[in-house]
Amino acid sequence: MTTTPNPVDRIAALFAGPGAEDYLGEAVTQAEHMLQAGALAEAAGAPDTLVAAALLHDVGHFHGAVTGHDLMAGKDNRHSHSGSGWLSQWFGAAVTEPVRLHVAAKRYLCAVEPDYHARLSPASVYTLEVQGGPMTPAEVREFEAEPHHADAVALRRWDDEAKDPELETPGFEHFRPLLNRLVTTV
């Protein structure tokens, strides 16, 4: 008899394995980036679902046919969609929808906040162009109609901040109880 691994154990393995690799031109690893985003959401008093979304927002770089390295080579890996789809096995829309929309939120913010683009890291500016550039007015209206767009924008802001090599954050185990509480049986 084989047992199915606990979903949180599977996620933890990503942080210890592929997540320990470099983060696509940033000064932190992928795992450090995601842990920082989760810690920033937690420090801001975000609801548990949004803390989880911030923590898990980039797992899509590890799932799908196109990798994060392909993204840096100019091919959109749609990691927000693949990550959201993978996470939907265990988490509800309050976690998965901000994950799905976090790339769109960057495009949105570039369209609606004139100074936002100037605050992006060089790697994020590059991926913005690969991912479609700033939204058109029609895309802005469509994004604003998404039920989870405000959470995606909040996640995006933590995503942008979570690239500090000096920031100390709790490890994955700190977030395990929160994730265990949110796992659903699908």
The 3 state secondary structure assigned to the chain is CCCCCCHHHHHHHHHHCHHHCECCCCCCEHHHHHHHHHHHHHHCCCCHHHHHHHHHCCHHHHCCCCCHHHHHCCCCCCHHHHHHHHHCCCCCHHHHHHHHHHHHHHHHHHHHCCCCHHHCCHHHHHHHHHCCCCCCHHHHHHHHCCCCHHHHHHHHHHHHHCCCCCCCCCCHHHHHHHHHHHCCCC
Mean pLDDT throughout 145-149? 98
Global pTM value: 0.90
Furthest CA-CA distance within the chain: 58
Going from the N-terminus, what domains does the chain have, and what CATH number goes with each?
29-165 (1.10.3210.10)
pLDDT of residue 67: 53
Q: What is the pLDDT of residues 125-142, one digit of tens each?
A: 888 888 899 999 999 999
pLDDT of residue 158: 98
Is a pLDDT exceeding 50 seen at residue 186?
no
Is a pLDDT exceeding 60 seen at residue 175?
yes
Nearest to 175 by CA among 46, 80, 68: 46
pLDDT of residue 129: 87
Q: What is the pLDDT of residues 68-124, one digit of tens each?
A: 555 555 555 567 888 999 999 999 999 999 999 999 999 999 999 989 999 998 888
Average per-residue pLDDT for the chain: 88
Cβ atoms of 72 and 23 closer than 8 Å = no
50-54, 62-66, 98-102, 157-161: which range is least confident on average?
A: 62-66
The residue ranking higher by pLDDT, 63 or 137, is 137
35-44, 67-76, 89-98, 148-157: which range is least confident on average?
A: 67-76
pLDDT of residue 124: 85
**% of residues, the chain, pLDDT over 90:** 64
